[in-house]
A and B are shown apart, each in its own frame.
Chain A
Amino acid sequence: MLAGVAAKRLLLVVGVVLVALLLFGLVRGAIGSAILKSETLIPRPEIHLPPQPVFPASSRELHLGLTSKPSEQGVEADAHTAHDLPEKTADEHGGGESEDHGEAHATPLAVTEFAITNTMLSAWFATIVIILFFVLGAGKKSLVPGRFQSVIESLFEAIINFSSAVLGPGMARKAFPIVATIFFFVLFNAWLGLLPVYQFLGFVGADDDLIKVHLLRPAGTDLNMPLALALVSFVFVEVWGFKSHGFGYLTKFFAFGSIIKKGPFQGLIDVFVGLLEFVSELIRVVSFTFRLFGNMTAGEILVVMITFLVPLVATNFVYGLELLVGLIQSVIFAGLTLVFLSVAVSHQEH
């Protein structure tokens, strides 16, 4: 294609342009603007921790503050307690004192309301992408795989090799579907969330043309998705424990039988250890949940804040980091499920 000298020159030009953009970002971003006392290139981003309702439009407008909270007359009395909190925050919002925090004080949904949130939408989007990916890739299986099919085959092979290293080949084949599902769901949610589409699709607020409610937001940044996945993984592990040991599985946690078998001293230690195991089994759900939620939320906030501090080039490094974090978190979620599964199944009567 290009001669060696021309290629070298092109590379140099690209490098100079990138450095220039980086310097421009440093000067015009929040850091440079604070020193030079000038206006920042992009306005200060708002961080939303709770997911925002998108559909139906009425709850979205309520969230945006376009319409005021409907009066309490229409709501029956038993829902009143659920509305206490929203009412209070709505008053604050109306007072105009929470201008700097914006959506942080937006009205949360009451228990009785139902709205489709942006995280739900993006979870569905990720599901559709996963289905399309695998249907297109492996729908028509040919003996000599094409490029797409061999990618999927090698992915599956890697997962099944990993799980048979932990569980042994027979069990790995049976545990494969749920482990692979968890892996791909977390991975696609994390990686699709890095698409710029997630940042620039949304609904603008009333007063300015900044996006206040995003149409899509990575599902991992909603606490409910990691919690649901953690509960699925927890129930899966426990059901398999019961399946392979029967009700003897419970003696792992409530080892009262060993008081008789091993004498009072050793028995009491066993009982205590069993209770510890029981507690740690429950803590596992919390740990699963917050690990994924924290990583995804931190990534989202990091991308947004770096874009605010140093616009243009610097964000790309964060994107690289986020790709790695998404992969590691999905490996960890699926891998820990496997490890706990192997612990639950291999538990032996002592």
Chain B
Amino acid sequence: MEMMVLLQALDAEAAKLLAAGLAIAVGVIGPGIGIGILGAGAMNAIGRNPEAAGSITTNMILAIAFAEALGIYALIVSVILLFVV
């Protein structure tokens, strides 16, 4: 109930700022976890097979790019909320 009152009291500008902050804050959680898992996997693999470190690193960076793209989507939404809408 109090939340509703709070939301009604927000003017458009404040709602925009809040939305932009929430968009990037929530949107970065998933990619963060994903990149963490990827990095841990790559470290494990390098520990088991140090000779393959070069190709593991390349593949890890490629895979991180996929996870990171999601974070970038959140960033774009947040930037658009801040500067365009």
Contact = CB atoms under 8 A, between A and B. Distances in A.
- Do chains A and B stick together as partners? yes
Interface of A: 47, 49, 101, 104, 162, 165, 287, 290-291, 293-295, 297-298, 301, 328, 331-332, 335-336, 339
A332 B65 contact: yes
Interface string B14-54: 00000000000000000000000000000000000000000
Nearest to B65: A332
Contact of A287 (B55, B69, B75, B84): B69
Contacts of B58: 162, 335
Contact of B83 (A49, A287, A332, A339): A49
A301 B65 CA distance: 20
B57 to A, nearest CB: 11
B55 A290 contact: no
Given A49-B84, A290-B69, A291-B68, A297 B79 contact: yes
6 contacts: A104-B84, A293-B76, A294-B72, A294-B76, A328-B65, A332-B61
B62 A332 contact: yes
A336 B79 contact: no
B80 interface: yes
B62 to A, nearest CB: 6
Given A287-B69, A293-B76, A298-B75, A101 B83 contact: yes
Interface of B: 55, 58, 61-62, 65-66, 68-69, 72-73, 75-76, 79-80, 82-84
Contacts, number: 47
A301 B79 contact: yes
Q: Interface SS of chain A: helix, strand, loop or mixed?
A: helix
Q: Interface SS of chain B: helix, strand, loop or mixed?
A: helix
A162 B76 CA distance: 31
A339 B73 CA distance: 22
Nearest to B73: A290
A291 B69 contact: yes
Nearest to A287: B69
Contact of B62 (A101, A294, A298, A335): A335
Contacts of B65: 291, 328, 332, 336
Contact of A298 (B55, B72, B80, B82): B72
A332 to B, nearest CB: 4
Nearest to B13: A100
B84 A294 contact: no
Contacts of A298: 72, 75, 79
B75 A294 contact: yes
A165 to B, nearest CB: 7
Name, among A101, A291, A293, A339, the residue most crowded by chain B CB atoms within 10 Å (CB to CB). Answer: A291
B61 A331 contact: yes
Contacts of B62: 332, 335-336, 339
Contacts of A47: 79, 82-83
Contacts of A165: 55
A55 to B, nearest CB: 24
Given A290-B76, A291-B68, A294-B76, A328 B61 contact: yes
